[in-house]
């Protein structure tokens, strides 16, 4: 079944607003909300960074149906993985069957300001593997002792451990993390708007092949993708709104080592609006949105999480729910 979600960006909205947007997304018929977890935003001016677990708890109290998750938390540096497991277990106890945990290897801008020495990608990936293993054991076992390269636990217990399963999703932009998701995770997350071959030839095949080697069917892994869309009845307005997220159009080489929102804002501000818009599906035509989203569905993505760049998120949520979501549901009816 197709799940249609909403990306509630904590880098763009404060704690009260992000809770209200989650409530509004449920009212409009969205199936899930994915909240990002940042200590610092992508830009200093007008940026926000509410604590995701507090915001999810508040949103859970105000909603009844919509699934709530992180996209994504880094359970390896400023959080010990056991603390992340405790936080998510508490949320699942409060809102059973509605909570999921998305995790990734992280970004320097959220860790370096707290004194973390940012390691290379190999170490970050090794830490994520250990964290996922430790959290999985804490979710399922009574008392956990663990001796890893990076993390340890001695007779650790989650005393408020939910009876329902907490799905773990692993975010990936390359084959190693995608294979890890296929082997051990309940879900896989990536973001749209990059070279198509990355999805069709690298990420999706890596998940499927790893799942098969682990003796799991491809259906065991929920394939989720954040799809960056700018939709409005005014096409020019949809185009201009992407400027707020110009940092997403910076290349990995441009962003590497940047851990200051002021510097990230400066780099992003130097991009043209045409460059800033490259990661987004921009149109005032709902059919055009469907046609550009359809290839992701054909690849096997069944959990689509829509990220809109504009300031007026209620306008986006209402327009997308009325004009695009029904057409997408019809594709897989």
Active site residues: 38, 107
Residue 156 phi, psi dihedral angles, 5° rounding: -85, 135
Whether the bond into 72 is cis, omega within 30 of 0: yes
SS3 120: coil
Residues 75 and 97: their CA atoms lie apart, in Å, by: 22
Residue 3 three-state SS: strand
Pairwise CA distance, residues 308 & 95, whole Å:
26
Rounded distance, CA 255 to CA 257, Å? 6
Measuring CA to CA, which residue among 52, 39, 70, 74 is closest to residue 224?
70
Q: Angle 309-171-265 (CA atoms, 0-180°, nearest 5)?
A: 40
DSSP single-letter state for residue 77: S
**Cβ partners under 8 Å of residue 180, min gap 6:** 125, 128, 129, 132, 170, 172, 210
Judge whether 198 and 191 are in contact, CB under 8 Å: no
Q: Please count the other Cβ atoms lying within 10 Å of the Cβ belonging to residue 48.
A: 15
């Amino acid at each position: 079944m197709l799940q249609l979600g909403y990306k509630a960006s904590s880098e763009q909205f404060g704690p009260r607003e992000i809770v209200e947007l989650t409530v509004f997304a449920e009212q409009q018929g969205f199936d899930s909300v994915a909240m990002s977890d940042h200590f610092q935003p992508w830009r200093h001016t007008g940026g926000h960074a509410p604590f995701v677990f507090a915001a999810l708890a508040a949103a859970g109290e105000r909603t009844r149906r919509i699934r709530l998750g992180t996209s994504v938390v880094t359970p390896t540096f400023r959080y010990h993985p056991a603390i992340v497991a405790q936080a998510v277990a508490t949320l699942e106890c409060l809102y059973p069957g509605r909570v999921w945990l998305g995790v990734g290897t992280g970004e320097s801008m959220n860790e370096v300001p707290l004194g973390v020495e940012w390691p290379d990608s190999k170490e970050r990936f090794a830490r994520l593997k250990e964290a996922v293993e430790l959290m999985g054991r804490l979710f399922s076992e009574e008392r956990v002792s663990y001796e890893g390269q990076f993390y340890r636990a001695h007779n650790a217990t989650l005393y408020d451990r939910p009876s329902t399963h907490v799905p773990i999703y692993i975010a990936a932009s390359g084959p190693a993390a995608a294979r890890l998701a296929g082997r051990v995770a309940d879900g896989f997350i990536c973001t749209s708007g990059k070279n198509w071959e990355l999805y069709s030839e690298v990420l999706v095949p890596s998940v499927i092949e790893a799942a098969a080697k682990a003796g799991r069917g491809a259906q065991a892994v929920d394939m989720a993708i954040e799809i960056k869309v700018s939709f409005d009845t005014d096409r020019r307005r949809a185009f201009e709104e992407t400027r707020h997220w110009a940092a997403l159009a910076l290349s990995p080489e441009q962003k590497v080592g940047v851990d200051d929102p002021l510097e990230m804002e400066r780099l992003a501000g130097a991009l043209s609006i045409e460059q800033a818009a490259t990661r987004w599906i921009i149109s005032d035509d709902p059919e055009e949105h469907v046609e550009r989203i359809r290839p992701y569905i054909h690849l096997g993505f069944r959990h689509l999480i829509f990220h809109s760049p504009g300031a007026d998120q209620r306008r986006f949520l209402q327009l997308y729910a009325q004009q695009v979501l029904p057409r997408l549901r019809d594709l897989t009816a």
